[in-house]
Amino acid sequence: MISPARKIAFDVLRLVEEEDAYASDVLHAQLASHVKTEDAALATELAMGVLRWRGFLDFLLQRSLKQSIARLDLPVTLALRMGAYQLRFLHRIPARAAVNESVELVKRSRKSSATTLVNAVLRRISSETPIPADQLVPANLPELERLSVLQSHPKWMIERWIAKFGMETTVALLQGNNAAPRLSVAIHKAEERAEILSELTTAGMSVEDGALLNTAITVSRGSPARTEAFRTGKISIQDEASQAIPLLLDVHAGDRVLDLCAAPGGKTTQLARRAATSEGCIVAADLHGHRLRAMRAQFERLKLPDVRLVQLDAMRPLPFAQNFDRILVDAPCSGTGTLARHPEIRWRLRPEQLREFHQLQVEILCNAAAHLAPGGALVYSTCSLESEENEEVIDEALRRVSGLRLAAKPEIGRALQQHLTSNAQLSALLDSVGQFRTMPGRQRTDGFFAAVMVREQE
C-alpha cells in the first residue's frame, strides 16, 4: 500500500517535470476538501521539499549509482528523490516506510525492474543519515560548488548573488529559499480583524501579527482557504511583500487606476477597494483570457466594486483613449524572489533568460507610461532579485520616456509608513533612492522589487 500523501506528492512532481507545471498550482488542484488535513500537509512537505533540495538529493543519490541519475527513467528518479528526502529530512517517518513506499511507487509506475536498485540505494542513504551533510561533500570541492550542493541551488545563480549581495546575505538568501514560506493573509476590513482572528483560532489555526503590514496576519497549522472568512471574501491569501506593492501607489477614492499585468488579481483587489467611488475607475488587464475569468470569479467572492477586465498584449501600444492617475505594472519576471514558494524555478531558469525578460519588461513599462496622466504615479514591480529585471529596466525606461522621473524617497516613505507594523523598519524596505526591496533571508517574505515613478505636470 502507498499512502495517499505519497501518491499525491509523486503525481505532483511528475507533472512538474513532464509538463513544466508549478507545484503550488498542482497541489491546489489535488488537495481538494476530501483530502485529510494530515495527508495534505505531508503531500505538500514531500513535493516542495524534494523540489527545494533536488540538487542535494541528487548528489546523495549519485554517490550510490553506477550511471548518471539523468539517465534513469523519470518515475525511478522521483521515487529515489522522495525516499532520500524522507530519510534525510523527515526524521519522524520510519526509514522502513520511506524505503518500502518508494519501491511501491516504482512498481505503481510499471518500472518493477528498478525495485532492486531503489531499495539498495535508499538503504545506503538510510545508513548515512547520522553523518552531517557537510561531511559527505568532498573537502577539496571548490567553495562555490560546495555551497551549490549543500544549499541546493544552481552554481550560476549563487555566483551572481555573491557578486551582487556578498557572501553573508547570499547564504541567508539560500537558507530562506530552502525554508517553507510563511502563510500570510490579508484582512480586507480592519474593523473585522478581531472577528476573523477568532474564527481562525477556533478552527485550530495558530495566528500571529504580520511582520510588515498592520493589515496582514501569519497563519500556521491549517488552511485559511477552508474557512468562512475566506469564502465570504473577508480575507485573501497573499505574501506580505506582495500586499505592500499596491500601497506604494497611494491610490485615493475616485482615481482612474490601471493594473496592467493583473492576474492573478491579488494586487487588483487592494487597488479596487481604495479607488472605489462612482467617479473612480479601475481597469485590470492581462494577456490571458482564462486568467481574467479566474479573476472575475475571485472578485465575485470578494464582493468587489466594478472592475473592468480587458484582455490585451501589453507588449503592444495600449488601446486606451484615456490616461490614468495610477498605474501598476507588476511585470512578468523570472521569479527568483519566490524560490521558497516556487522551488522548481531554480532548476528551470537559464541565465540568458534574464536578458529576454528585460526586453519584455522595458516594452511593457514604456507602453504603460504612455498612458500616465500628468501628476500621476506608476509603480513597476517584480518578484525578481536580478538587476536586469529591476534597476536596469527602470534606467532604460527613464531614458526612453520623457517627463518621467523617480518619485522622491520621503513621499514614498509617507505612503508606506502608515501601513507598517510597529516592528517594521522603513529603512530596511527602501534603498537610498526610495526603491522598495524585500529579501527572503531578511524579512521572511518573497523577494520583491518596486520603483515609483511620476509624470511631471505639464
d(CA 174, CA 171): 5
| Interacting residues of 403 by C-beta distance below 8 A, sequence separation 6+ | 374, 455, 456
- Write down the catalytic residue from 261, 281, 333, 383: 383
d(CA 150, CA 141): 11
d(CA 154, CA 156): 6
Q: Output the nine-digit C-alpha cell for 277.
A: 467611488
Angstrom CA distances, 56 to 59, 60, 81, stand at 5, 6, 10
d(CA 373, CA 381): 19
CB 379 within 8 A of CB 327: yes
Of 329, 183, 313, which is closest to residue 268 (Cα–Cα)? 329
Angle at 259 between CA 28 and CA 209, to 5 degrees: 55
Q: Output the nine-digit C-alpha cell for 370.
A: 504612455
Question: Which residue in this structure is represented by grid cell 522621473?
Answer: 405
d(CA 99, CA 26): 25
Report how many helices (DSSP H) and strands (DSSP E) the chain contains, helices first.
Answer: 21, 12
Angle, in degrees to the nearest 10, between helices 23-30 and 37-52: 160
Q: Which amino acid is at 216?
A: A
Phi, psi of 98 (to 5 degrees): -60, -45
Q: Output the nine-digit C-alpha cell for 53.
A: 533540495
281 is catalytic: no
Phi, psi of 15 (to 5 degrees): -65, -35
The DSSP output letter for 408 is P
Q: Output the nine-digit C-alpha cell for 269.
A: 483587489
Each residue of 231-255: b (16+ CB within 10 Å) or e? Answer: eebbbbebbbbbbbbbbbbbbeeeb
Phi, psi of 293 (to 5 degrees): -65, -40
DSSP 3-state assignment of 238?
coil
Just list the catalytic residues: 383
